[in-house]
Amino acid sequence: MHKNMGTTDRTLRTVVGIGLIGLAATTRGPVALASGVLAAVMLGTSAVGVCPAYVPFGIDTREEKHA
């Protein structure tokens, strides 16, 4: 897959992911599980620079478009 996330998008996902880790650590039950899974998705997509949900819609948030 081609990268489709820009620096701002990746930074925001990292910050939100870290916040969700904090929420998962301080809660219990379904809220902790859901926030932990969502944190993993946010941090994972941020780390690789690809958001699979963007692909069907042709979204690309990179600042410089590469062929």
pLDDT digits (tens, 9 = 90+) for 3-59: 999 999 999 999 999 999 999 999 999 999 999 999 999 999 999 999 999 999 999
CA distances from 10 to 27, 39, 61 (A): 26, 13, 9
Query: Is the separation of the CB atoms in 24 and 36 below 8 Å?
Result: yes
Block residue for tokens 């478009």:
65
Q: pTM value?
A: 0.87
